[in-house]
Every structure is written in C-alpha cells, then in structure tokens.
Amino acid sequence: MDSREKWRRSVALSSDLYPSALDQIMEKNLSTALVDRLMHHAHVVVTEGGSVGLQDATSGKGVVPLGS
C-alpha cells in the first residue's frame, strides 16, 4: 500500500461518550492510545438534541417492524 493511500480511507465513529470518558469502559493506557490515534486527523462533529430512538422507546411506541 502506498503511504498516500492510507489517508484516503474514511471511518465514521459514533459514541455517546466524550473521548476523555473512554477510560470508563477500557484500560486507561489503551483508551489514551486509541483516542490519540483517532483524533490525530479527525474531524469532530458534536451534535446536540434528544435521541429519537430513546424518545420513541419511552413514549411507548417501541420498535416498529419494517414494512408495517
């Protein structure tokens, strides 16, 4: 693989945790290395607002099968 090609790949990562909170779910040195590597060339998009899925679940709508 050409060194230029590795920068052409995209990865989308979504989490409800801030990067600094990842050490709550994995070992601290592993989470630090992971966040450092992910953030090196990252474009961070912070969204705000309620969760549509959570809103539906708590309102009693539940899961609706596709095609219904």
Residue holding tokens 């090609």? 5
pTM value > 0.85: no
User: Closest Cα partner for 22 from 37, 39, 38, 34?
Assistant: 34
CA distances in angstroms from 22 to 9, 19, 33, 37, 60, listed in the order given? 24, 6, 11, 13, 31
pLDDT for residue 29 is more than 70:
yes
Q: Identify the three-state secondary structure at position 16.
A: coil
Q: How confident is the model at residue 53 (pLDDT cuts 50, 70, 90)?
A: confident
Whole-number average pLDDT of the chain = 77
